A = this chain, B = another copy of it.
Amino acid sequence: MNRKMTALGKSPSKIREIFEYSRGRKAAIGAENVFDFSLGNPSIPAPESVNAAIGKLISTTDSVSLHGYTSAQGDLTVRTAVADSLTARFGVPASPDDIYMTCGAAASLTVTLKAICEPGDEVVVLAPFFPEYSVFIENAGAKKVVVNTAPPDFTVDFEALGAAINKNTAAVLINFPNNPTGAVINKDEAKRLGELLREKSDALSKPIYLISDEPYRELSYEAPAPFMPCFYENTIVDYSFSKSLSVPGERIGYIFVPSSAADSRDIYAAVCGAGRSMGYVCAPSLMQHTVKNCVFDTSDISAYNANRVLFYNALCDLGYTVTKPKGAFYLFLKSPSGDSGEFCERAKKYEILMVPSDSFGITGYARIAYCVTKETIEDSIPAFKALMEEYKK
């Protein structure tokens, strides 16, 4: 058997591990007494349009056609709806032939990485980053190169990024709004990023692709997150409806390969080939047709924003050092001791569950997922207060 896969299957992600611990604690002392901020599972229901679309589809569409195979890249009418929505929202030209429907964000990433990278190529990621990036890049046979972002706001360190790009670089992988920091790139930064990558592509006489992983696109609270294809032609967008429509279990998303990207037809073909090689026959058909009817909808994400403001202010008042998040549904909290593991372990005494930042490729922080009820946040404040008092002793 494949020993690497066995090891991978046996080492569940730190996040899952804490999630399992949480289940045990909740069973032992009652769910209301555990302040579980470990998992980025949307807590807001899907918009009504989702179940309405599903209900209508099963009652009005022929079974064989509704539940049948779509074309490998996704149903044409679905891809048309997605492409049109991108043009309407961001003003970019997009055609159904630029869209490849996927089984969610993880599939968007593994397919894109396998399409873009020859074995041995390098992929630059910005730390902190989603832990599974390491697994996905390895699956593509590529090598991860880490560039730190700049605290306290975790913005792109352009100098460090430029220095990390070389002739072996196939792509730069970014994630704004960011998991785990909540950082959102602004327009000036987006422009500068485009310029840097254009410069590097010219100097190296090959396109450096930008892979923009955007499951949190709609969760940007202070200004819309810039759409990177508007700033850099060689951008490939990896999207998922998991967060915008609160349907993470349904595994539905897409890859957008803009016609502006270098060799875009070949890249698109490689995306189809990579999907095929890993057994992605098509994205789930009922969910494809469902999102077709919901491309402009979102869950009521105002609740996340209310949580963000409430939690951020409360933690600052208690003396914590917190980066104010601009998007996603995470707070990045500095460890008072400087040690992430120690901080998260000590917090467990107060039934507070957070993820140490080491999992995300940097040390000294803890991630709080605030996609929880307002009550959970409010009830946790005394616990955070007691925790801070320990450090002040």
Q: Which residue of B lies closest to A139 (CB)?
A: B277
| Residues of B contacting A54 in the complex (Cβ-Cβ under 8 angstroms) | 54, 58, 286
Is A278 on the interface with B (CB-CB < 8 A)? Answer: yes
Known: A263-B1, A277-B138, A281-B251. Is A10-B269 also a contact (CB below 8 A)?
Answer: yes
Interface string of A35-66 (1 = CB under 8 A from B): 00000011111100011001100110011101
Output the nearest chain B residue to A8 by Cβ-Cβ distance.
B273
Cβ of A277 and Cβ of B115 under 8 Å apart? no
B45 close to A274 (CB less than 8 A): no
Please tell me which stretch of A82-90, A102-110, A195-203, A312-320 contacts chain B, meaning at least 4 of its Cβ atoms lie within 8 angstroms of it. A102-110
Interface bits A248-280 vs B (CB < 8 Å: 1, else 0): 111110000000000100111111111011111
Q: Is A70 an interface residue (CB 8 A)?
A: yes
The reply on A4 being an interface residue by CB < 8 A is: yes
Among B44, B46, B170, B249, contact of A284 (Cβ-Cβ < 8 Å): B249
**Any B CB within 8 A of the CB of A21:** no
Inter-subunit contact A117/B2 (CB<8 Å): yes
CB of A326 closer than 8 Å to a CB of B: no
Q: Which residues does chain B contribute within 8 Å of A279, judged by CB atoms?
A: 103-104, 106-111, 136, 139, 278
Pick the contact of A64 from B43, B59, B69, B272 — CB < 8 Å? Answer: B43
A284 neighbours in B (Cβ, 8 Å): 103, 249-252, 284, 287
A1, A16, A108, A287 interface centre (most CB from chain B within 10 Å): A1
- Complex: A72 Cα to B136 Cα, angstroms: 16
A63–B249 Cα distance when bound, in Å, is 11
The verdict on A3 contacting chain B, using a C-beta distance below 8 Å, is: yes
A34 interface contact, C-beta 8 A: no
For residue A282, CB closer than 8 A to chain B, the reply is yes
A369 within 8 Å of B (CB atoms): no
Is A91 engaged at the interface, CB distance under 8 Å to the other chain? no
Q: Which residue of B lies closest to A116 (CB)?
A: B1
A118, CB-defined interface residue at 8 Å? yes
Q: Does A205 contact B (CB under 8 A)?
A: no
Q: How far is the CB of A293 from chain B (nearest CB, A)?
A: 14
Q: How far is the CA of A235 from the CA of B116 in the complex (A)?
A: 36
A4 touches B64 (CB 8 A): no
Q: Is the CB of B115 within 8 A of A268?
A: no
- Whether A6 touches B46, Cβ cut-off 8 Å, given contacts A51-B58, A55-B58, is no
Knowing A64-B42, A286-B286 touch, does A110 contact B6 (C-beta < 8 A)? no
